[in-house]
Amino acid sequence: MKVIGKHLTVDMYGCSFELLNSLDFIKDAMVTAIQDANMTMLEFSSYKFEPQGLTAFALLAESHMSIHTYPELGYAAIDVFTCGDNSRPDKAVHVLKSFLKPEKTKTTHIKRGDFGSERDMKPKVKVQATPMKRMRDTSAKVLGLLKNKKSK
């Protein structure tokens, strides 16, 4: 069976509480991502949880996009599944990143319908951290090494 579609699952960490808790903002981000990625929205549905968080779902002519937010954790779980050759789920994810400005992301690429070799069945995972996050992590390691040298 040939590849039917592209399915991207994205975990975004270190996002703003306010952005993740704003249904209007998330809907605007999704609509922009859908348009920029050459997709067609058929229907939009959402639910706002109390005291915080939301789920937003866009039914697309090409398949679907969903976002589940956990503002208290600064975390968003995003799903973009598209069929056909004209849509660009990777572009949609890029647009969502520009809106949510995560410190770190983990993107998993899955080829749907691909029943090829075992190697093909393993999803491709890509992890990215913003330069400031990498700098903080590196600084903490350097300081830790300096402390260890002084205590010896």
Residue 80 has a pLDDT of 98
Mark whether 94 is an active-site residue. Answer: no
Q: How far is CA 30 from its chain centroid?
A: 11
Catalytic residue (one of 22, 64, 66, 68): 68
pLDDT, greater one: 129 or 70: 70
On average, the pLDDT of the chain sits at 88
Catalytic residue (one of 16, 63, 66, 94): 63
For residue 78 the two structure tokens come to 């995003």
Angle formed at CA 113 by CA 110 and CA 119, multiple of 5 degrees? 55
Within 8 A by CB and 6+ apart from 1, the residues are 113, 114, 115
Per-residue pLDDT of 67-121, as tens digits, reads 999 999 999 999 999 998 899 999 999 999 999 999 999 999 988 886 665 455 5
Mark whether 83 is an active-site residue. Answer: yes
* pLDDT at residue 131 is higher than 80: no
- Please state, in angstroms and rounded to a whole number, the distance separating the CA atoms of residues 116 and 19: 40
Q: Are 27 and 21 in contact (CB under 8 A)?
A: no
- Please state, in angstroms and rounded to a whole number, the distance separating the CA atoms of residues 50 and 53: 7
Q: Are 81 and 110 in contact (CB under 8 A)?
A: no
* pLDDT at residue 12 is higher than 90: yes
Mark whether 22 is an active-site residue. Answer: no
For residue 126 the two structure tokens come to 């890509």
Domains and CATH numbers, the chain: 5-151 (3.60.90.10)
* pLDDT at residue 124 is higher than 60: yes
